[in-house]
Structure 1
Amino acid sequence: MALATTAPFAVNAQEEEQAEDKKFEQIIVTGTRMTDRSAADSPVPVDVISGEEFRQNSSSDVQDMLRTAVPSFDINTQPISDAATIVRPANLRGLSPDNVLVLVNGKRRHRGSIISFLGGGISDGAQGVDISAIPSMALKQVEVLRDGASSQYGSDAIAGVLNFILKDNAEGFEVQARYGSTYEGDGDNFIVSANAGLPLGDEGFVNVTAEIREVDGTIRSVVRDDVAFQIENGYTAVSDFALINGYTSDVPQYWGQPDVEDDIKFFVNSEYDLGDQTTAYLFGNYGERMVTGGFFYRNVVGGPSGQRGGVYRGPLVDPTTGLVDDDGVPSVLVGDLDGLDAGGSCIAGIPLGGQGGVNPDPTFLAQVVADPNCFSFIETIPSGFVPRFGGTNEDMAITVGIKGDLDIGSGLYYDVSAQRGSNRTDFFIKNTLNASLGPDSPRDFVPGGQEQTETLFNANFVYSVDVGLESELNIAFGAEYREEEFDLFAGDEASYALGPLASQGFASSSNGFGGFPATTSASQDSTAVYVDLEADVTENLTLQTAVRVEEFSEFGNTTDFKLAGIYHVSDELRVRAAYSTGFHAPTAGQANITNVTTQNVNGVLVDQGTLPLSSVAGQLAADFVESAGNGRPQLGPEEAVNYSFGVGFEIAGSNWTVDYYNIQLEDRVALGANVDFLSALNFAGGTGSDFATVSEALTTLDANGVIDRQDFLGLDDLSQFRFFSNSFDTTTWGIDVVGNVNFDFLGGESRLTVAANYNETEVDSVGEVNPISDGRVSAIEDLLPNTRANISWSHTEGKFTTLLRANYYGGWDDTGNGVPGIGAEVLIDAQVSYQHSEQLQFVVGVDNLFDTYPQENPNQGGSGQLYSESSPFGFNGGTWYVQARYVY
């Protein structure tokens, strides 16, 4: 059943006529290959959301719009999430972003270039599609298939399918401008978009959409405990911290909605009738944007979270000599610029003492400053620092094809296409350093980039034959070849360099996000064939079945099938059910990525790495894991079993669907639990190895010929690491309820729409070879609300249309950040539009009318995060917007 069948805003005459024709019967193209199947008659649930309803909120991002329209779709703000800030991971039915298939005009959309290493537990390690590259103005409608469909579409179609269908008008022009902000006065944003339909001769059309958008960041952080501690105990160098980082408030850390600048999108959709029932088509896009987010504060001289290792934290030293003493006091690290065994010598660290034990000894500090051979970052960056991380993202794709009907018997419909798409991100990190380079370190770096490129050739055929059933038997069959390539681009040398001070305890690489030391490329391909059968067996019964065989160059074969049916008990009541198997194959990026990120673990910042299982370091990891006796890690496809059943009924003029679903996933592709890097290196060193630091271990093992130091560039400050492998099993089940009713009210026309979802995921097994952590189990099971719902009422009377929407978010837990038992919330949205003329419309709206925020973090001072970054409705509070729309 459709979520929406009419738009509450006034539209032009052509759109009104089309909307009226389809008011009670939405023809769908997702989940079926019949040309006249309606959403109401589909054997599996398919929601149809019109482009107008899709845009009825303050957001300027398609993913946030989708969150409002589809209760089982979740997307977070990602304030400090490394690359996930640039391409945000989204979840459908609580599953990973790469468990949902995204289509544009029914064709598979290429993945984004970002692998979400900080995905909030649910999305950790996922490489999903960059949905935000799609401008909402380009959309005719969005079809959401809420069922498994791997046998029909291939890898990833486990949680469901999102099909973004582009506008196909051959005439008309529309331009829209919107400006908005938060109640707090930050987060200013604007979007200007335009769509034009043009005839292509007498037999075709070209529909073009362009959009430009910018979003200012927000700050929802508090003064960190360690900053307050330092100031309170006399270390006043951090008091001007905010000014150093470009802010006039006393907030010591940028934490909030990221900045989005120069966000430009362009989409085109075109068809041309060649005659003889043959049509050529082309659609594609180009887009680019720059996203900048925040990182955590790097502490100088102590406090609850300690000093930043590899930059400021020195060894325990004798307070009278500044030399290493295991029974001494904490210190600020000092480097000997001409080497430990050459020229003059330096103290090991500047002793900390005085009130609160945080003040550097002024005598030793002066000594270090005066000696050009000795260096400490307290000389040049005494306040500490917060890196600003981001990237420029470029997305492009083109699909060309030809489709038609060969008039042989009942006719053979064909659709043959070729497409190529790519998504590239080039990273930057500012206001940081490569500590191992000492005073020669730059403050801004280009750590490199990564790109996902996909090429796909597809041939689909549909043939209908009379076999004595109520309808002809619809036989669909086809083949597909898909190749994907994942490229890593080397960063500037300083971003990964192992500088001269690395052996003295100073961390290598750009702090916070180390650069890629080399340009690498990895690829894989797959070939698939499928058969899809569908027919009305009787007047009341429709059955559908599909089988797909797919072979991967890296992971072998998989065969999946589906059986679904719907039975019309009466004109008002129908029941449906489906059973299918599915799969998700690891991407080339997941199998080959190397990445080091900084995370806040129990209030302490540590570097955590991801290494390819096939790399030298990855095999060292596999040896260490295998030594525990549970087997050797492997990487291959994950397998799924989906079954669902539901009912659709009409009562008192309203339409309702209720659907139950169950998704069992085995051998899920995952980043396993973190492995202690030093322990793995000690294991590699053999019996008797007892290295004190990672740097010492790497240097010694290289000298002994066990490893090549060049294979471990950028890993000197690595505390923990992990790798992709097949790991855990889960069961996800839930219920979707969708209903709508149209009625007359107060002399106008009203529409009430209800959409609700209950979803629950349970980890059946954490995995034996490479188990996931307890924290990730908690995130998978509890980080998202089990219950989501929205109720929308729209009313049109004369030139005015009003919309009220209540969004319900059930309770959830963020135990990983120490925020259990977060309560449920209801957010109210309101919008009023005025149709000034047939062409011109004005809109005023508010989202989160009553300025609702999530529950505050109880330990907010430890990280500076006022709210949980996993909040399902964000943390910006109320937002308002004004909009003007012109249609010709």
Structure 2
Amino acid sequence: MKLHLLSSTAFVLCAAAPAYAADATNPPPAADIIVTGTRLTGMRAQDSAAPVQVIGVQALQNVGPPDLGPALSASLPSLNFQGFGNDTANLTLSAALRGISPNETLVLINGKRRHTTANLAVAGGSPYSGSATTDLSFVPVASIQRVEVLQDGAAAQYGSDAIAGVVNIITKTASHGGMLTASGGQNYENGGKTASAAINAGMKLGENGFINLTGEYKFHDFTQHGTCDRRYFDPQCNITATNPVIVAGLKASDGFPRVNRINGDARYTIYNVSFSAGYDLGSAQLYAFGSYGNRSARSNQNYRVGNRVSGTTSTGVTVYPLPNGFTPQEGVREEDFSLTAGIKGKAAGWNYDLSGTYGRDTVKLYTLNSANRGLFSALQSTSATPLTGLQRDFYDGQLSNSEWAANLDLSREFEVGFAKPVTLALGAEYRRDSYAIGEGEWAANAYGGGQGYQGFADTDAGVFSRTGYAFYADLAADPVAGLHTDLAGRYEHFSDFGSVTTGKLTARYDFSPAFALRGTVANGFRAPSLAEEHYSSVNVGPGYVYGQFPANSPSSQLLGFSPLKPERSTNLSIGIVTHLAPALQFTLDAYQISIKHRIVGSGDIFGSNGSTVVSQAVLDALSARKISVADATSYAGIDIFTNGADTRTRGVEATANYASDFGEANHVDWSLGVNYNKTEVTNIIDLPSAVYNASQGQTKLMTQYAIDALTTASPRVKAIANALWSHGPLKVNLRETMYGVTSQHLSPDGSGQGSSAQLVRIGTTFITDLDIGYALTPHLRFNAGANNLFNKQAPTMPTVTVNGTQRPLLNNIYNAAIAFTPWGINGGYYYGRVTYNF
């Protein structure tokens, strides 16, 4: 039915507008020229053999939250932005293209590979699990001229990570003028106060150069969802706890009875500065661009009751140092740095571009407002009086990721008698990637560490690196008038897993100025990130212990898992482009992305469940890594990244753009985009025998919950209809986004299986955004608007009866927002913004 709808839409658009002939004598305006997905100069997006969408400054400004990720999601039907993350994943949210992992999308800045975050998302059961991609929050929106999104496999052109496509962010190069903007807003309810300010200015650099500078500040406060904690309250928020210490602490806690604040956004403050510069030497141009960002953020964890931390004096008196209980927080202080410098020009008939890029992201992790219960108990036992000066904050260690790349790109046109000159492009790249885990302080790890997050131990710490080099060739030719072909090949070698060869053939045939057919056949790859290979951590909760085991560690091999290897992909696409009227364009592209050896997070692999031993090998492995399982009264286990599955994603994307004038300065730009994709898991590897236990139901590498994260937890259909009305100084932007059905099997143990499991389904939902802007003067503009204008709230977690007691189907909070809600968990957001252009 969805395909029928798309084809019907195409038919109506074709029938409604007469064909026209494009004026080939007029060169396209510079704003129409793209540099992504092609080695040709002067290529327009509408003439591209591969689907490329361009998001301009106006579209980026018509979104309330001052962040690039939500802005791209509001413009691209094939891109979804993470609304909520668990644990440290809540501190670095990701975006995913075409329904597959964020890791499958390569991000470039001005055509150069952007480094990735050091903060690996390890939350199982999330569509964004395992993501360690570029952090878009460190790219100031005010520095961006446009964003080009190539929605096609491009590993042969750009290398690893470009399986789903490429996001190329083009920064401003103006040598004069600029803008100053400030905004503020918050959610209709649930908190989330937000503020931002940015300045961008261009200036001359000597006689023949420029420098363009941007500074940005962003703040976002906590949100909180749900009502009471099922461990101590019934669904009506009546206290069920009987221990007098717990009861007294609950009643004295902030926000009683909503004492557990884990379900909500993190609080963050981000400062960004960036620059872009160039200098014309006549025969060559020097250029450089870079950025520095600093983030301070914290997210709430599960509430701990008043007797969670206790000790007994040497005289036998029990001491509760935190009788009101406490809410641990995971905190980060993050620094992000990037610098690219190069020279480009023309010599001996060849265009050349020689550049070097260095990027680094460093994350210092903390457990805040917490306590080390084991350490306090040990110290208190040596004292006859209650101890004071309890340590509440812990330094858990540091994650860092750095990437260095040197690139040489060459291109030249040759006359060979074809309809147009042939363009040959050649290139080489050298890369060195490093990833490091730094040990935390002693108190963050000893005796189980601070409640909420155990610091990195010496067994976690290490420095890991890889080197690689690549060579590519690209041949673009128009053998006859109307036929454009592009053949690319790439050889890439990595020091840790060997060589990979990829290729891509793209073709487009214009039957007339009004109709073209295009398609691609390609294979690709994604090298496992160093974080996926080597990340190690421990998560400690009330009654459970979980270890994230490094995929390439000896302990993982002893459990039967193999070291990671590259993902391999095959991309197929075919589509049409129609120019049916001077102001109308329509595209329709169908695609298939098959990924073999896909790197996925395993489902929860239990060592124990209550008092039952599920896998002694898992318990031994935890103990060998100095992880205490004594407090794991509910369960103890591990998660691991592995080349665990093969998947196939099939989809269709349609876009239509139309501009209309109604006289008297009334102008409307209309756009419609629809994306449908369906991902299927075609193969899952067997669970190693050391962790296999049929009697306890531990028989599969991936639980149903984890499978759903790949297949149904993201919407298969997303459509965006946008109308921008301009009337003199007034602009009104109305956007309607449709999110299709999402679903996931949930259960109290997190597997999505068993007698208590339920299929939680979120139906098709329409979200309305409105932005109204008015230019008070040619330089001063005011905007007011709302994202999710009608405050559509996320569905809440259903309850289930387990052993005669009602509880949320998953996690601890009654009526908590469902984390995989595609439009986010916070409901409506209203904002105001003022912009001064100079």
TM-score (norm 2): 0.86
1:651 corresponds in structure 2 to 580
SS at match of 2:490: strand
Contact persistence 2:795–2:821 (CA under 8 A): no
Structure 2 Cα separation of the partners of residues 690 and 799 of structure 1: 71
Matches within 5 A, 1:835-846: 835-846=775-786
SS at match of 2:239: helix
Partner of residue 186 from structure 2, selected from 164, 173, 181: 181
User: Which shows bigger deviation, 768-777 or 874-883?
Assistant: 768-777
1:626 corresponds in structure 2 to none
SS at match of 2:59: helix
2:393 corresponds in structure 1 to 444
2:714 corresponds in structure 1 to 784
Structure 1 Cα separation of the partners of residues 569 and 440 of structure 2: 38
SS at match of 1:667: strand
1:389 corresponds in structure 2 to 330
Structure 1 pair 619–434 and aligned structure 2 pair: CA distance change class (3 A)? farther
Structure 1 Cα separation of the partners of residues 275 and 252 of structure 2: 45
Contact persistence 2:124–2:602 (CA under 8 A): no
Structure 1 pair 298–145 and aligned structure 2 pair: CA distance change class (3 A)? same
1:524 corresponds in structure 2 to 466
Deviation at 1:643, TM superposition (A): 0.6
Structure 1 Cα separation of the partners of residues 241 and 406 of structure 2: 66
Partner of residue 545 from structure 1, selected from 481, 487, 493: 487
Residue identity in the other structure for 2:639: R
Matches within 5 A, 1:44-443: 44-78=50-84, 81-118=86-123, 120-184=125-189, 186-229=191-234, 231-232=239-240, 234-235=242-243, 237-238=245-246, 247-248=254-255, 250-276=257-283, 278-298=284-304, 372=314, 379-406=320-347, 408=348, 411-439=349-377, 440=379, 442-443=391-392
Contact persistence 1:147–1:160 (CA under 8 A): yes
2:496 is equivalent to residue 554 of structure 1: yes
Deviation at 1:434, TM superposition (A): 2.5
1:727 corresponds in structure 2 to 644
Contact persistence 1:460–1:476 (CA under 8 A): yes
1:755 corresponds in structure 2 to 673
Structure 1 Cα separation of the partners of residues 122 and 655 of structure 2: 34
User: Which shows bigger deviation, 468-477 or 612-621?
Assistant: 612-621
Contact persistence 2:34–2:43 (CA under 8 A): yes
Structure 1 pair 724–136 and aligned structure 2 pair: CA distance change class (3 A)? same
Structure 1 pair 393–650 and aligned structure 2 pair: CA distance change class (3 A)? same
Structure 1 pair 879–42 and aligned structure 2 pair: CA distance change class (3 A)? same
Residue identity in the other structure for 2:170: I
Deviation at 1:241, TM superposition (A): 5.0
Residue identity in the other structure for 1:607: V
Partner of residue 422 from structure 2, selected from 473, 479, 487: 473
2:449 is equivalent to residue 509 of structure 1: yes
Structure 1 Cα separation of the partners of residues 305 and 712 of structure 2: 32
Deviation at 1:71, TM superposition (A): 1.5
Structure 1 Cα separation of the partners of residues 282 and 247 of structure 2: 74
Contact persistence 1:231–1:239 (CA under 8 A): yes
Residue identity in the other structure for 1:869: A
Deviation at 1:472, TM superposition (A): 1.0
Structure 1 pair 42–233 and aligned structure 2 pair: CA distance change class (3 A)? closer
Deviation at 1:717, TM superposition (A): 5.2
SS at match of 2:70: helix
Contact persistence 1:218–1:255 (CA under 8 A): no
Deviation at 1:798, TM superposition (A): 1.9
Contact persistence 2:173–2:210 (CA under 8 A): yes
Structure 1 Cα separation of the partners of residues 229 and 629 of structure 2: 28
Residue identity in the other structure for 1:404: G
Deviation at 1:240, TM superposition (A): 6.0
How big is each residue's C-alpha offset from its partner over 1:289-324, in whole Å with a ceiling of 9 and x where there is no partner?
A: 1111121234678xxxxxxxxx58xxxxxxxxxxxx
Contact persistence 1:531–1:546 (CA under 8 A): yes
Partner of residue 885 from structure 1, selected from 830, 835, 838: 835
Residue identity in the other structure for 2:516: R
Structure 1 Cα separation of the partners of residues 720 and 670 of structure 2: 11
2:475 is equivalent to residue 533 of structure 1: yes
Residue identity in the other structure for 1:281: Y
Contact persistence 2:125–2:705 (CA under 8 A): no
Partner of residue 771 from structure 2, selected from 831, 842, 863: 831
Residue identity in the other structure for 2:158: Y
Structure 2 Cα separation of the partners of residues 794 and 665 of structure 1: 39
1:340 corresponds in structure 2 to none
Deviation at 1:619, TM superposition (A): 3.3
Contact persistence 1:819–1:868 (CA under 8 A): no
Contact persistence 2:723–2:735 (CA under 8 A): yes
2:744 is equivalent to residue 738 of structure 1: no
CA RMSD after TM alignment: 2.7
Structure 2 Cα separation of the partners of residues 444 and 99 of structure 1: 36
Deviation at 1:775, TM superposition (A): 1.4
2:49 is equivalent to residue 43 of structure 1: yes
Residue identity in the other structure for 2:471: V
Structure 2 gaps, min length 5: 1-25, 380-389, 689-700, 748-757, 800-806
Structure 1 Cα separation of the partners of residues 147 and 317 of structure 2: 59
Matches within 5 A, 1:490-501: 490-497=439-446, 499=447
Structure 1 gaps, min length 5: 1-19, 302-310, 313-333, 336-368, 500-507, 623-631, 699-706
Deviation at 1:727, TM superposition (A): 1.4
Percent identical residues: 29
Structure 2 Cα separation of the partners of residues 57 and 430 of structure 1: 33
SS at match of 1:618: helix
Structure 2 Cα separation of the partners of residues 445 and 589 of structure 1: 23
1:463 corresponds in structure 2 to 412
Structure 1 Cα separation of the partners of residues 730 and 256 of structure 2: 42
SS at match of 1:871: coil
Matches within 5 A, 1:852-863: 852-859=792-799, 861=808, 863=812
2:824 is equivalent to residue 874 of structure 1: yes
SS at match of 1:380: coil
Structure 1 Cα separation of the partners of residues 455 and 574 of structure 2: 49
Contact persistence 1:25–1:40 (CA under 8 A): no
Contact persistence 1:76–1:871 (CA under 8 A): no
Structure 2 Cα separation of the partners of residues 616 and 130 of structure 1: 31
TM-score (norm 1): 0.81
SS at match of 2:505: strand
User: Which shows bigger deviation, 771-780 or 45-54?
Assistant: 771-780
2:754 corresponds in structure 1 to none
